[in-house]
Amino acid sequence: MSATSHDVIVIGAGITGLTAAKLAVQRGLKTASIEMMMFGGLVININELEPAPAGAPASGTEYASNLMMEISDLGVENLSATVSGLGAGPGGVSVTTDAGIYQARAVIIASGAKQKRLGIPGELDFEGRGVSQCADCDGPMYQGQEVVVVGGGDSALQEALVLSQFCSQVHLAHRGTQFRAQQHLIDKLASHKNIQILWQTVAEAVLGGDGVSGVRVKDLAQGATREIACTGFFANVGLTAACEFAPPEIKRDAGGFLVTDGSMRTPLAGIYAAGAVRAGYGGLLSHAIAEAETAVASAAAALGK
């Protein structure tokens, strides 16, 4: 176990965490960033952001890489570890990871969110063999083939639009009668003739042998079940907060996201939360940036910087 002292530790190197780390170090705070996977979080594989924040590159990969290079050049210590616990005490905050324990005067939780699973039969069995949650990464593998996309929000529509560039047919199944997505994405669907919208339709099972060969769907209006022959299945039905390590004193909303005040403060001294992990997060990268700014301003004020 190691114990290292920092002014600020940022948990998570998605866009919120990278932005927070950059702003903190620019204020002269000794800053570390802890990430358990690759930097970039949810946007690391997105080739075309819609919208991209003002002044940012159109590619999520490029945006995250630029931020990562900036924080490294500015002197942020990048630690590769999984955070498993947090404790606030009079001496500051201790961050427990699989690589040791780190101490900081302030911690910003920017651990974001994970894509939800539908929990239907076959979904996990065919992971990597036809089941994917990244159209930008895997789309080219479905050239000339049929796929099913599930969801009715921004990310499902974005995935369907990306896949339509490669696939002969994209079946977009949505349980509702209207989308909950940005209007410009809804408008774009109409010009992609190979996207078929299946309203009031849910996926019940992913079927196959060596790989995916079909999806069983149910038409909720008719009560009828049928099989769509396809080789790919992409469910984008929302996010679940990645904050198992956060102490129970930090309240969660009904969806499991961390509750803070408007200054991104949690009830625990020295612990802040921002971005997709936070209840009330707006959902776009522009919101991630704004929340990172607020969290750093709050932490810096508390540290007298």
Ligand X SMILES: Cc1cc2nc3c(=O)[nH]c(=O)nc-3n(C[C@H](O)[C@H](O)[C@H](O)COP(=O)(O)OP(=O)(O)OC[C@H]3O[C@@H](n4cnc5c(N)ncnc54)[C@H](O)[C@@H]3O)c2cc1C
245 binds ligand X (CB under 6 A): yes
Shortest gap between Cβ of 162 and ligand X (angstroms)?
9
Using CA atoms, how far residue 271 sits from 104, 189, 258, in Å, is: 10, 42, 11
Using the rule CB under 6 A, is 83 a contact of ligand X?
A: yes
Minimal distance in Å, beta carbon 243 to ligand X? 8
Q: Are the C-beta atoms of 172 and 198 separated by less than 8 Å? A: yes
14: contact with ligand X by CB under 6 A: yes
Q: How far is the CB of 209 from ligand X (least distance, A)?
A: 28
Residue from 147, 167, 195, 285 binding ligand X (CB under 6 A):
285
- Encoded tokens for 292: 């990172």
Minimum Å gap between C-beta 51 and ligand X is 6
Please list every residue from 190 through 229 that binds ligand X, using CB under 6 A.
Answer: none
**Binder among 6, 7, 8, 16 for ligand X (CB under 6 A):** 16
Q: Is 139 in the site for ligand X (CB under 6 A)?
A: no
Single-letter residue type at 287: H
- Which of 9, 28, 31, 30 has its CA nearest to residue 111? 9
**267 binds ligand X per the rule CB under 6 A:** no
Q: Of 36 and 148, which CB lies nearer to ligand X in the complex structure?
A: 36
Instruction: Considering only the stretches 10-18, 24-32, 176-184, 197-205, report the one whose residues sit in contact with ligand X under the rule CB under 6 A.
Output: 10-18
Contact positions vs ligand X (CB under 6 A)? 11-17, 34-37, 41-43, 46, 49-51, 82-83, 110-113, 155, 158, 242, 245, 275-276, 283-285, 288
